[in-house]
A = this chain, B = another copy of it.
Amino acid sequence: MSEQTQERAGILITDLKEIATMAGPPEGPLHGGALGDLEIVQDAAIAIGGGEILAVGPTQDLRERFRASTVVDATGMVATPGLVDPHTHMVYAGSREDEFEERVKGATYLQIASSGGGILSTVRETRKASMNRIVRQSLPRLQRALRHGTTTMEIKSGYGLDADSEEKMLAAIDYLRRLQPIDLVSTFMGAHWLPEEFTNNREGYIRDVIRKQIPRARSMAEFCDVFCEEGVFSPDETREILAAAKDSGMKLKIHADEFKDTGGAALAGSLKAASADHLGAIGPEGIKALRGKGTIAVLLPGTSFYIGLGRYAPARALIEAGVPVALGSDGNPGSCVTDSMQVILSLACLRLRMTPHEALASATRNAAWAIDRGKEAGILEEGRPADVVVWAAPSCKAIPHQFGTNLVHQVYKKGVLVHEEGA
């Protein structure tokens, strides 16, 4: 093809050993055998223009077809969609490394929490902090997540636990959209824990969430999430709060069956929630309840690992039952202190026994569907936003294989190079 007849591209990334596109019909999250049966393009290139993917295909074809302003030689590397982290608590004030030592010495997560540490210490710090301070402290976390390959991220409120403080958190998330390139999805989570002032008045706090917090959060948050767990919020309380959230126009998520099977997953299925998250203790009934409901099982192996439960969500049983599975970091100040989805990919293989390809699909395409971004994120296909990670790895399988090391070479967000390792 002569130069005159070539199409123009902004960027042409060439000579990739592999691209895992995550594409392939039908639209929607991958489940069952399809989760690990990925479209892998060999000796591949990506053409980017106008912030979008123009084409993905063999390097030779794309070299002939496109004339690009910038050609990036990615010899020996691989590419995937930007990672999508569908479950985080990344916005808060303070840090809790002092209680880390207590945990090292044997105190459990719930013991620390019930003695005023844990979540409640972050609530105290977050209530005290100005929105600007919360933004300033949270920004480096998002910058680190980006450097580790995350280009779309959900963030929950839930360290305010009163109408003003929850609104402040949601405003901080909104402000962070302007300061860095990761696309952020907001979730209101006033029902994350019972605040100290309501210790003896559970019913009063649920009224506060429904009557004061939800009306102010509805315009700022796309999802509402509730921590449904023994000692936190019961399935009945969860149902009541989520009914109000749904009436207010929010989509639904549940922290379900993390420590005990309290029927959270079943509730998520019956409400057709967007996702049921954690599921470390989900039983066969819960798995059955999630089938065919459009609810995505968001697994958070980082938390099971970090708090040392020795028990992980039954990923294989969920996949075999045909439930669509996604992976999230659960990045938070106490029970899973990480900003990286890469370490989650390794844990998914090593502890959830997911194959490397299953893990990658669960952290891209399926994770995007878990936060209703399936049409924009988690997939490399013509016309989609060009959110791309180029990895210094010899194959896509080698990404989860490497543990605790950042393998990211470049991150593109909407076609712009937003991070380059060692540059």
Is there an interface contact between A350 and B398, defined as CB atoms closer than 8 Å?
no
Q: Which of A98-106, A156-164, A227-235, A273-281 contacts B (4 or more CB under 8 A)?
A: A98-106
Is there an interface contact between B392 and A140, defined as CB atoms closer than 8 Å?
yes
Is there an interface contact between A351 and B308, defined as CB atoms closer than 8 Å?
yes
Partner of A349, one of B104, B147, B338, B339: B104
Contacts of A419 in B (CB 8 A): 422
Is there an interface contact between A354 and B104, defined as CB atoms closer than 8 Å?
yes
Q: Is A403 an interface residue (CB 8 A)?
A: yes
| A99 to B, closest residue via Cβ | B401
Is there an interface contact between A302 and B403, defined as CB atoms closer than 8 Å?
yes
Q: A403-B338, A404-B338, A404-B343 are in contact. Are A350 and B104 (CB under 8 A)?
A: yes
How far does the alpha carbon of A351 sit from the alpha carbon of B106 in the complex, in Å?
Answer: 11
| A404 to B, closest residue via Cβ | B343
Contacts of A344 in B (CB 8 A): 404
Q: A98-B397, A355-B104, A397-B97 are in contact. Are A403 and B350 (CB under 8 A)?
A: no
How far does the alpha carbon of A419 sit from the alpha carbon of B406 in the complex, in Å?
Answer: 14
Partner of A405, one of B97, B144, B354, B355: B144
| A342 to B, closest residue via Cβ | B404
Contacts of A421 in B (CB 8 A): 147
Contacts of A339 in B (CB 8 A): 402, 405
Is there an interface contact between B147 and A353, defined as CB atoms closer than 8 Å?
no
Is there an interface contact between B143 and A356, defined as CB atoms closer than 8 Å?
no
Partner of A395, one of B97, B340, B398, B422: B97
Partner of A398, one of B97, B106, B308: B97
Contacts of A104 in B (CB 8 A): 349-350, 353-356
Q: Which of A131-186 contact B (CB under 8 A)?
A: 140, 143-144, 147-148
Q: Which of A368-423 contact B (CB under 8 A)?
A: 392, 394-395, 397-398, 400-407, 419, 421-422
Closest chain-B Cβ to A405's Cβ sits at a distance in Å of 5
Q: Is A337 an interface residue (CB 8 A)?
A: yes
Q: A104-B350, A394-B95 are in contact. Are A402 and B356 (CB under 8 A)?
A: no
| A407 to B, closest residue via Cβ | B144
Contacts of A140 in B (CB 8 A): 392
Q: Which of A329-348 contact B (CB under 8 A)?
A: 336-340, 342-344
Q: Is A306 an interface residue (CB 8 A)?
A: yes
Partner of A356, one of B100, B310, B336: B100
Is there an interface contact between B405 and A340, defined as CB atoms closer than 8 Å?
yes
Closest chain-B Cβ to A299's Cβ sits at a distance in Å of 15
| A36 to B, closest residue via Cβ | B101
Q: A144-B406, A147-B422, A343-B343 are in contact. Are A356 and B401 (CB under 8 A)?
A: no
Sample (27) of A-B pairs whose CB atoms are under 8 Å apart: A97-B356, A97-B397, A97-B398, A97-B401, A98-B397, A100-B397, A101-B355, A101-B356, A104-B349, A105-B353, A105-B355, A106-B353, A140-B392, A144-B406, A148-B405, A302-B403, A302-B404, A305-B350, A338-B405, A339-B402, A340-B405, A342-B404, A343-B405, A344-B404, A404-B404, A406-B406, A419-B422
User: Which 9 A-B pairs rank lowest in CB-CB distance, beginning with the nearest?
Assistant: A343-B404, A97-B401, A97-B397, A97-B398, A339-B405, A338-B403, A100-B401, A338-B404, A340-B404
